[in-house]
Structure 1
Amino acid sequence: MENMMSNENKKVKVHYTGTFNDGTKFDSSYDRGTPLEFVCGAGMMIKGFDEAVKDMAVGDVKDIHLMPEEAYGMPDPRNILTIELTQMPGSENLQVGQRIVLSSGDGQQFPVKVTDKTEKTITFDANHEMAGKELNFKIELVSVEG
């Protein structure tokens, strides 16, 4: 009889390797030697990853391919911000391609990448660096608690 138990809302540990379509590895728990622990279905992980782990059994290994919608979404033009250099002291020293963390008025921190700079303005992109990318994961379910 097939086990129809779901791992939803249980604490799971997985090992995984994440790659882009060209085979470039962007992340791997194997390299760190420690499995990733999270509560399945609690929104801690990207949607497609959560979905994949939901019905795995301990010891299973699964290869998944995620479209951007199931991963970090598509880049949002509203997350691109251009400001005058004079509005942000120190910004004249930043380089295109550099990643920094900005703080909003209420103290919220968000990572951005400098995408453009002129004599007068600087442009930041606050989209997730994986936005718009298709991701591949090899996932191995190590343990399930609860």
Structure 2
Amino acid sequence: MVDAISQGSAVTMHFAIKLTDGSVADSTKVNNKPARFVMGDGNLTESFEQCLLGLKAGDAKSFELAPEQAFGQPNPDNIHHLDRMKFNAEVPAEVGTVVAFAQPDGTEIPGIVREVAGDSVTVDFNHPLAGQTVIFDVEIITVGAE
């Protein structure tokens, strides 16, 4: 009997996240390392998990997700203006640089330098794919019990 993906299923799959222009934002095939996770363990958002429900090993599907179903819309509260003094040779204040800042709880949050003006550096802490419609391509390899 072939197991269909349901809540609690252990899943091994290849996936790609593409933008509507066809560019690939992420893919497990680059390093040929499939993703392994348990449905509901928090590795995927609920919207991404909903796409997988009912699929079986050997299935390949493509889903288009609006920003609200994928990485959300950009939040203006996640854009911060920081003092240029917080940057150095290892972490340059250059547009496009990805920087990680420690949170009070010790976790790190990545941000992208969007603008440098005088002593002010604008850093965007929104997910890089926020505001984007994405195509979620999946190829299910195995489905099992947790």
TM-score range, shorter chain: 0.7 to 0.9
| Corresponding residue number in structure 1 for 2:24 | 25
Range that drifts further, 74-83 or 100-109: 100-109
- The letter of the residue matching 2:60 is V
Three-state SS of the structure 2 residue aligned to 1:68 is coil
Three-state SS of the structure 1 residue aligned to 2:29 is helix
How far apart are 1:37 and its partner, in Å?
0.7
Structure 2 gaps, min length 5? none
Q: Post-superposition, which runs of at least 4 consecutive aligned residues in structure 1 deviate over 6 A?
A: none
| Corresponding residue number in structure 1 for 2:6 | 7
Three-state SS of the structure 2 residue aligned to 1:32 is coil
d(CA) in 2 for partners of 1:11, 1:126: 32
Residues 5 and 11 in structure 2, CA contact (< 8 A), matched pair in contact too: no
In the alignment, structure 1 residue 42 sits paired with structure 2 residue 41: yes
d(CA) in 2 for partners of 1:46, 1:7: 15
d(CA) in 1 for partners of 2:87, 2:56: 53
TM-score calculated relative to the size of structure 2: 0.86
- 1:1-146 residue pairs with structure 2 within 5 A? 6-86=5-85, 88=86, 90=88, 93-146=92-145
Residues 79 and 126 in structure 2, CA contact (< 8 A), matched pair in contact too: yes
d(CA) in 2 for partners of 1:94, 1:55: 47
Range that drifts further, 90-99 or 32-41: 90-99
d(CA) in 1 for partners of 2:5, 2:87: 52
What do residues 115-141 of structure 1 show as CA deviations (whole Å, max 9, x unaligned)?
A: 111112111110010111111022111
How far apart are 1:55 and its partner, in Å?
1.3
Structure 1 gaps, min length 5? none
